[in-house]
Amino acid sequence: MTFARFMELALYHPELGYYRQKRQRVGQGPGTDFFTASTSGPIFGELVSAACVQLLGPGLSAKDYTFVEIGAENQLGVLRAVSHPFAESRVVSLGEDAGLRGRCVVFSNELFDAQPFHRFLFRENRWREIGVALNGNVFIERELPSATAAPLPLDSDEGYRMDLSLAATALADQLSAPGWSGLFVACDYGKSWRELIEATPQGTARAYHRHVQSNSLLAQPGDQDLTCHVCWDWLAASLERNGFPSPSVDSQESFFIHHAADLIARTTVAEAAHFSPRKLSLLHLLHPGNLGQKFQVLHARRD
């Protein structure tokens, strides 16, 4: 099978899939596998809310918009403990109809990098797709007889690997389809197309288990997270096709500093005398050595 099919089963099988099991995956406690911005406490939701209000601009009122979070790990969402100005806030599980109508702020955090991806290897002057086979009781990589159609570069270095999520682009097309107006904001891991074809010769796929990053993608299916960097150019092109002019991609640090500066200033002043949990969470979200550069934010507005 293709790696995308293997990943679909490993993550989303109704009974055995990693994301379908009823256990805590995100956090820093025992048994968790990774942490993300949403585990930093209410400050992340406050930053997201403040940034979205600023991006709507002075001529629009947040109270006329519904905040819709897609695929939140915690079903209560990032605004669960935040006093926000939106008409309402709701969380939509991945695979459910988001029901996007009217004026919305559509938000996601680490949604697109969790979509199934295909793996390709450049060997003997052509791209070959790397799939998965079962050898006894062990999953192994296997070169497939034909490759899934994908917009791969014409040429590359011998042995160059690419991990490409066609499903992430399809999901962006679905969520940005006409029928609603407002903001699209996605926080995720990603790289530009140029970076993917020139600067990542081993691909970007990785697994996470108990906070340890691994290249053993086929080990313990259903018990570890699988992910790769999304292609920001592809997702931005999807938004443009659906009428979002000039999508932007910023580092998480830059995004919040430019669009939630007042909240950051107030928090910094209020916590100036000590390192409270709230101030430490803010530094964790913004510092380039932590999540500030590790994540990027794709955002665009459609009036």
Query: Considering the chain, what is the average pLDDT of its residues?
Result: 92
- pLDDT for 138 equals 94
- pLDDT for 269 equals 85
Element (H, E) at 107: strand 102-109
Q: How many residues does the chain have?
A: 303
- pLDDT of 33 higher than 60: no
With pLDDT > 70 as the criterion, what percentage of the chain qualifies?
93
pLDDT tens-digit map of 196-235: 999 999 999 999 988 788 999 999 999 999 999 999 999 9
The closest alpha carbon to 212, from 34, 35, 26, belongs to 34
Q: How much is the average pLDDT of 90-108?
A: 92
Quote the CA–CA distance of 41 and 154 in Å, as a whole number: 45
pTM of the predicted model as reported, rounded to 2 decimal places: 0.92
- pLDDT of 275 higher than 70: yes
Quote the CA–CA distance of 17 and 224 in Å, as a whole number: 10
Quote the CA–CA distance of 298 and 233 in Å, as a whole number: 10
- pLDDT for 25 equals 63
Backbone angles phi, psi at 166, to 5 degrees: -70, -30
Q: How much is the average pLDDT of 63-78?
A: 88
